[in-house]
């Protein structure tokens, strides 16, 4: 399963701003998604926005401004000693998923000219050097959590540990996506990226066509388990496949996908249970790797289901996974389908049942509008405006009140920066010119 920061409530001052969106329909769009209004207040708002859409120059400026705000987090919470970035303010730890977001932020920040080439090169090489030196869990793969200041492994108790406590193959898959983007798009980092991949025991991470996690149990014994659910599994598997280690049964949605209908849209449950169909894996695939037709259809219907909920309830809806200031879990998955429940929450603790908080994800808003822009995604961008602060973007706004969640975090910054770059270019970030040689032993 995904590894996350251990959880801490963060209080942040929030500067509420309003995005002003006027003009004509953009001529340059990565995707085209239509809004079909129906009767009612929600439909009326969508009609109004459709007639008051953005000119592309105004939208481009809006994304540049959003990226500049996101960069404030990167500038403030980077650790010079390792190149790593704190997952949330006041919490100097990181996961491999977070390291993927670190590379995303640095890469996009440089391409958007928020950082000059010399500084970018210094930062990237520092991160790559750190990844080449980190101690591995059980000599197999990166531990779930590391200290950003020292690079030391962290145990399940949140303290430095000589052994660590396990790895997340899903998190490592995100890291592999970003190492591949660097290796292909910036060949000066290819050898360092490949050396990092070469440190991993791929025969333990990929087995029987699936991603495999390993972790210590309560008695200190080593447990091995299949890792990943629909969405996250396919995204992470593409990272492994990009380096020639395809988890063949984890790559297709059809292997364990169970078609379900949510508000008139055909979405996927996970045949194995523990559904967690949320924005993040879909938008990351779209921004970083590009969608194949199967994924694009799922993405379109996934977004349409959220728009349908807005029409039905009047609540602007855009789900995601996010760090939050809400105890006791501090990290929540808000999904269209969670453990058989529609538009519900999940947390890392499988024993917990939670109903709040529900929020509109800021990073999902910027990403979806870059990928499938419509009057509805413009409406969502307006809704998340209060999540903007002088120090970066909070994770979003609460559905009911529209107030900021108040929690800044690395993943929000990394995704917004990548979304701004994809919006500017009109294409995904990884453009492979030749197929990766695959290791058929896995």
Could you read off the pLDDT of 7-34 as tens digits, one per residue? 432 223 222 222 322 222 333 334 433 3
pLDDT of residue 55: 57
Q: Are 153 and 164 in contact (CB under 8 A)?
A: yes
Q: Which residues contact 106 (CB under 8 A, 6 or more apart)?
A: 74, 115, 120, 123, 124, 127
Half-sphere exposure of residue 136, counting CA atoms within 13 Å on the CB side?
15
pLDDT of residue 54: 54
pLDDT of residue 439: 44
Task: Please tell me the least confidently modeled range out of 2-11, 179-188, 229-238, 292-301.
Answer: 2-11
Q: Over 80: is that where the pLDDT of 336 sits?
A: yes
- In this structure, what token pair is assigned to residue 340? 């058989």
pLDDT of residue 327: 86
Listed in sequence order, the DSSP H helices in 164-210 are 169-185, 190-198, 202-205
In this structure, the number of other CB atoms found within 10 A of the CB of residue 204 comes to 17
Q: Which residues contact 187 (CB under 8 A, 6 or more apart)?
A: none
The pLDDT-based confidence of 38 (bands split at 50, 70, 90) is very low
pLDDT of residue 11: 27
pLDDT of residue 274: 83
Q: Over 90: is that where the pLDDT of 210 sits?
A: yes
CA 340 to CA 133: how far, in whole Å? Answer: 42
pLDDT of residue 40: 54
Task: Find residue 153's DSSP bridge partners.
Answer: 146
The pLDDT-based confidence of 249 (bands split at 50, 70, 90) is very high
Q: Over 80: is that where the pLDDT of 173 sits?
A: yes
Q: Over 60: is that where the pLDDT of 84 sits?
A: yes
The per-residue pLDDT for range 401-428, each reduced to its tens digit, is 999 999 999 999 999 999 999 999 999 9
CA 120 to CA 114: how far, in whole Å? Answer: 10
Q: Are 189 and 124 in contact (CB under 8 A)?
A: yes
- In this structure, what token pair is assigned to residue 91? 């919490």
Q: Over 50: is that where the pLDDT of 270 sits?
A: yes
Which is more confidently placed, 13 or 38? 38
Cis peptide before 305 (omega within 30 of 0): no
The whole-number average pLDDT for the span 69-74 is 98
pTM: 0.87
The per-residue pLDDT for range 94-149, each reduced to its tens digit, is 999 999 999 999 999 999 999 999 999 999 999 999 999 999 999 999 999 999 99
The whole-number average pLDDT for the span 260-265 is 97
The pLDDT-based confidence of 56 (bands split at 50, 70, 90) is confident
CA 153 to CA 251: how far, in whole Å? Answer: 30
The pLDDT-based confidence of 58 (bands split at 50, 70, 90) is confident
Percentages helix, strand, coil for the chain (3-state, rounded to 5) are 40, 15, 40
CA 318 to CA 296: how far, in whole Å? Answer: 17
CA 153 to CA 94: how far, in whole Å? Answer: 10
Which is more confidently placed, 211 or 32? 211
pLDDT of residue 413: 98
Q: Over 50: is that where the pLDDT of 317 sits?
A: yes
Q: Are 165 and 156 in contact (CB under 8 A)?
A: yes
Q: Over 80: is that where the pLDDT of 321 sits?
A: yes
Residue with tokens 């400026």, as numbered in its chain: 61
In the CATH scheme, what is the homologous superfamily, with its name and number, of domain 41-423? Glycoside hydrolase 144 (GH144) (1.50.10.140)
Task: Please tell me the least confidently modeled range out of 91-95, 336-340, 379-383, 387-391.
Answer: 336-340
Q: Are 240 and 246 in contact (CB under 8 A)?
A: yes
Task: Find residue 137's DSSP bridge partners.
Answer: 141
Q: Over 50: is that where the pLDDT of 35 sits?
A: no
């Amino acid at each position: 399963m995904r590894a996350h920061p251990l959880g801490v409530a963060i209080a942040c001052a929030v500067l509420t701003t309003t995005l002003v969106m006027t003009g004509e329909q953009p001529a340059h769009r990565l995707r085209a998604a239509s809004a079909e209004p129906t009767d009612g207040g929600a439909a009326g708002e969508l009609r109004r926005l459709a007639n008051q859409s953005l000119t592309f120059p105004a939208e481009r400026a809006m994304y540049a401004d959003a990226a500049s705000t996101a960069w404030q987090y990167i500038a403030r919470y980077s650790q010079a000693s390792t190149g790593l970035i704190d997952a949330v303010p006041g919490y100097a730890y990181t996961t491999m998923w977070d390291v993927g977001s670190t590379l995303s932020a640095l890469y996009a920040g440089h391409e958007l000219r928020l950082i000059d080439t010399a500084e970018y090169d210094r930062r990237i090489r520092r991160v790559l050097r750190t990844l080449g030196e980190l101690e591995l869990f059980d000599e197999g793969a990166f531990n779930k959590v590391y200290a950003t200041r020292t690079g030391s492994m962290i145990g399940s108790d949140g303290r430095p540990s000589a052994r660590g406590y396990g790895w997340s193959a899903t998190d490592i898959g995100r890291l592999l996506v970003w190492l591949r983007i660097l290796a292909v798009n910036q060949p000066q980092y290819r050898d360092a990226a490949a050396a990092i991949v070469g440190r991993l025991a791929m025969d333990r991470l990929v087995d029987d066509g699936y991603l495999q996690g390993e972790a210590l149990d309560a008695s200190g014994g080593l447990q091995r388990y299949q890792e990943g659910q629909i969405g996250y599994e396919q995204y992470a598997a593409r990272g492994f496949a990009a380096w020639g280690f395809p988890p063949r049964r984890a790559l297709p949605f059809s292997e364990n996908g169970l078609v379900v209908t949510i508000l008139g849209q055909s979405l996927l449950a996970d045949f194995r249970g523990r559904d967690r169909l949320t924005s993040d894996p879909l938008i990351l695939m779209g921004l970083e790797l590009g969608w194949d037709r199967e994924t694009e259809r799922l993405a379109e219907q996934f977004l349409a289901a959220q728009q349908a909920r807005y029409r039905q309830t009047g609540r602007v809806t855009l789900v995601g996974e996010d760090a939050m200031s809400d105890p006791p879990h501090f990290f929540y998955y808000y999904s269209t389908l969670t453990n058989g429940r529609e538009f519900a929450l999940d947390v890392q603790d499988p024993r917990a049942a939670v109903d709040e908080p529900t929020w509109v994800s800021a990073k999902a808003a910027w990403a979806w509008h870059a990928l499938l822009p419509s009057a509805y995604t413009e409406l969502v961008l307006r809704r998340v405006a209060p999540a903007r602060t002088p120090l970066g973007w909070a994770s979003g706004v609460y559905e009911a009140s529209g107030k900021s969640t108040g929690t800044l975090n690395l993943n929000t910054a990394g995704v917004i920066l990548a979304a701004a770059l994809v919006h500017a270019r009109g294409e995904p970030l990884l453009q492979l010119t030749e197929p990766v040689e695959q290791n058929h032993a896995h």
